[in-house]
């Protein structure tokens, strides 16, 4: 039997459950996207029309079950209402450069990218949603993170598998992103049928 919950509600509940299971010594930050309605644009512009960076919760140790940081993350997850076009590259870069890169630690570092749609806004906040933008720059960004020792997990929620305009298969780019991110599933291939993300 199928769930009556939306894709976001299913994802939200999974995130809350995962957060609850993390140890107090785990450090977590969070940035939702899309979190802003964005008009089409063919000329480069600042990131701010595409991404509300003020919504980002900086990385910090989770601490005990009733810690302020855990409560802040839980509140953010519960009140999030993702909507608008999909600025995957902008969101990933911002989270990495302003969250992960400054968080210096000798512990393992991971980025988690969850998407339910193909990227529709490129770097420079350029795009004409729902037209899909080039995905290689996102993969390059994930490779740059990997070069700095940060592995990236890719989760493609329902909706991420298909280009809504052309019906084209979007799973290969997610698969390639997981490969360069150092988190590919065992025995996977970029073009499936056993995808890497």
Q: Tens digit of pLDDT for each residue in 31-71? A: 999 999 888 999 999 999 999 999 999 999 999 999 999 99
| pLDDT at residue 84 greater than cutoff 90 | no
| pLDDT at residue 4 greater than cutoff 90 | no
* Alpha carbons 141 and 54: distance in angstroms, whole number: 21
pLDDT at 5: 79
Collapsing DSSP to helix, strand or coil, 8 comes out as helix
% of the chain surpassing 70 pLDDT: 98
CA distances to 8, 74, 130, 145 from 150, rounded to whole Å, are 26, 24, 30, 5
Q: Tens digit of pLDDT for each residue in 169-185? A: 999 999 999 999 999 99
Where does the chain show beta strands of DSSP type E? 27-30, 57-61, 109-115, 150-156
């Amino acid at each position: 039997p199928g769930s009556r919950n939306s894709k976001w509600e299913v994802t939200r509940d999974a995130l809350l459950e995962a957060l609850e299971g993390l140890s107090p010594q785990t450090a977590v930050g969070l940035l939702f996207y899309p979190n802003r309605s964005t008009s089409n644009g063919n000329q480069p512009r600042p990131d701010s029309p595409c991404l509300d960076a003020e919504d980002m919760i900086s990385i910090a140790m989770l601490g005990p079950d009733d810690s302020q940081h855990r409560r802040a993350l839980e509140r953010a997850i519960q009140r999030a209402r993702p909507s608008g076009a999909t600025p995957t590259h902008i969101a990933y870069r911002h989270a990495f450069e302003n969250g992960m890169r400054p968080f210096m630690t000798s512990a393992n570092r991971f980025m988690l990218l969850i998407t339910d749609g193909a990227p529709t806004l490129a770097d420079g906040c350029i795009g004409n949603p729902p037209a899909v933008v080039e995905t290689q720059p996102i993969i390059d960004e994930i490779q740059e993170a990997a070069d700095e020792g940060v592995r990236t997990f890719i989760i493609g929620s329902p909706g991420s598998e298909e280009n809504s305009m052309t019906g084209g298969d979007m799973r290969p780019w997610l698969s390639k992103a997981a490969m360069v991110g150092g988190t590919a599933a065992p025995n996977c291939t970029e073009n499936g049928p056993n995808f890497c993300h």
